[in-house]
Copies of this chain bind each other. A is one copy, B any other.
Amino acid sequence: MQSLPECQADDHEDNRAIPLPDEISCNTAAALFRALGEPSRLQLAIILAQQEMCVTQLAKIVNDSLPSISQRLKLLKAERIVTSRREGKHVFYKLDDDHIAQLIRNAVEHAGEK
């Protein structure tokens, strides 16, 4: 009987053909995904994709404490998912750019296909 084709990678010595994705790109891109990879943070991002909002408003809407919201926003901001501006006592957040909005739309779309 004819045997099945051997695993192509038995030429284990030659990895030249497949360049590893560079480590820094992986790390920073993964950090971006990780920031959005938590329901409560993603929820904030989705809300802020619709309209700019201050921390207190967000806390009311999602019914959670200020420190929680603030910490989530801090992480989202570190990954440049949201930007903030202060206006008097309030700090307003919004989505950084359409790039991110597109990313979120794609993910929600994919998730919806289940």
Which A residues fall within an 8 A CB radius of B? 4-5, 7-9, 12, 15, 18, 20-21, 23, 25-39, 41-43, 46-47, 50-51, 53-54, 56-57, 60-62, 80, 87-90, 99-100, 102-104, 106-114
Specify the chain B residue showing the minimal Cβ separation from A100. Answer: B110
Knowing A32-B111, A34-B34, the reply to whether A43 touches B26 (Cβ < 8 A) is yes
Q: Which of B23, B61, B114 contacts A28 (CB 8 A)?
A: B114
Knowing A29-B107, A36-B30, the reply to whether A20 touches B7 (Cβ < 8 A) is no
- Would A106 and B103 count as touching, CB distance under 8 A? yes
- Would A20 and B61 count as touching, CB distance under 8 A? yes
Knowing A34-B37, A36-B30, A53-B9, the reply to whether A103 touches B110 (Cβ < 8 A) is yes
> Which of A25, A90, A109, A114 has the most chain B CB within a 10 Å cutoff?
A25
Q: Quote the shortest CB–CB distance from A16 to chain B (angstroms).
A: 11
Chain B residues with Cβ below 8 Å from A87 are 4-5
